[in-house]
Amino acid sequence: MDSYFSILFTEVYKILFLLVPVLVSVAMIVWLDRRVWAFVQKRRGPNVVGPFGLFQSLADALKYIFKEIIIPASSNKLVFVLAPVVTMTLALISWAVIPFSEDFVLADINVGILYLFAVSSLGVYGIIMGGWASNSKYPFLGAIRSAAQMVSYEVSIGVIIINVLLCVGSLNLSDIVMAQQNLWFVIPLFPMFVIFFISALAETNRPPFDLPEAEAELVAGYQTEYSGMMYAMFWLGEYANILLMCAMGAVLFLGGWLSPIDIFPFNAIPGPFWLIFKILFLFILFALVKATVPRYRYDQLMKLGWKIFLPFSLFYVVLTSSFLLYFDLLPGK
């Protein structure tokens, strides 16, 4: 019995050791997001609450905690309450398989990439539940848009991942990182990295693909009827998903925890710090896109996903497999 509780305590500790930094990172990443927008638009951004405005996210969190939660009388109350919980939970459990170093990963499973792809795909259910349960036309339209958008770009992301798997021969995320010791996949698969980055913007409803919550058309989309901490949980789930996509990009294309140069002092920096640097780099690109690129029309969004990204990704799979087969570079041979 003592050994059982010891194992349970260890597992709970490992989970908290991962989730608490992720939640804190979400708060800090919102501050960074605002600072990048301010830099591009030549204004100051958060700068009053705490040094350099670092406590602005904490102030916003306190505001959401003390705001009243209003549930519309005509809504499906159970589904309405569950929607933000589902969104945030799915965003957080996805981090279980992200390897921060060779020895530091919560669940080093052999099908890590499939787990990640499956759980991230389920995120659309929280949005659909929130939009439908609100019993209001704007949230419902936002939920329909989000479902179509996320399904469309998940197809492209899945095909892009096949290119990486062909080069590695494994579904384990740690194996994918270790396969990039000599050459990061961003170099031979650069077109796929670009398409992955753009698809990740659409997958997470980030500008210029934030049509599910376009304020000029749908007020706040699927979040319109939410307030207080329930709104904040949608917000936490969205930013946790953005960080997750940045982590996926870093693991699949930028060598994960590996140092870019295997010489001192670069190789003396611990692996988790390199992964964090790469996640921050990709997130800053996310923020720069939001600050500079105008919103797409919905027909342009669908055309880009189905008529451009999907055919090109499939072509690149054929190109990659043909190259590996011709030069006898297929893994496991």
Cα dist. 44→37, 55, 114, 188 in Å? Answer: 9, 15, 42, 39
Q: Is 267:184 a contact under the CB 8 Å cutoff?
A: no
Query: What is the per-residue pLDDT across 80-98, written as a single tens digit (0 to 9) for each?
Result: 889 888 888 888 888 888 8
Q: Report the C-alpha gap between 314 and 333 in whole angstroms.
A: 24
Amino acid letter for position 249: G
What is the pTM for the complete model shown? 0.90
Alpha-helix residue ranges (DSSP H) falling in the chain: 2-40, 56-66, 77-93, 112-133, 137-168, 173-178, 190-203, 215-218, 228-253, 271-292, 298-303, 310-326
Q: Which amino acid is at 23?
A: L
What pLDDT does residue 51 have? 85
User: According to the model, what pLDDT value does residue 226 have?
Assistant: 85
pLDDT at 293: 85
Burial bucket for residue 13 (CB in 10 Å: 0-12, 13-18, 19+): exposed
Residues of the chain with pLDDT under 70: 1-5, 7-9, 11, 13, 213-220, 332-333
- Residue 267 DSSP code: G
Kindly list the distances between the CA atom of residue 115 and the CA atoms of 171, 319, 327, in Å, as whole numbers in the listed order.
10, 26, 31
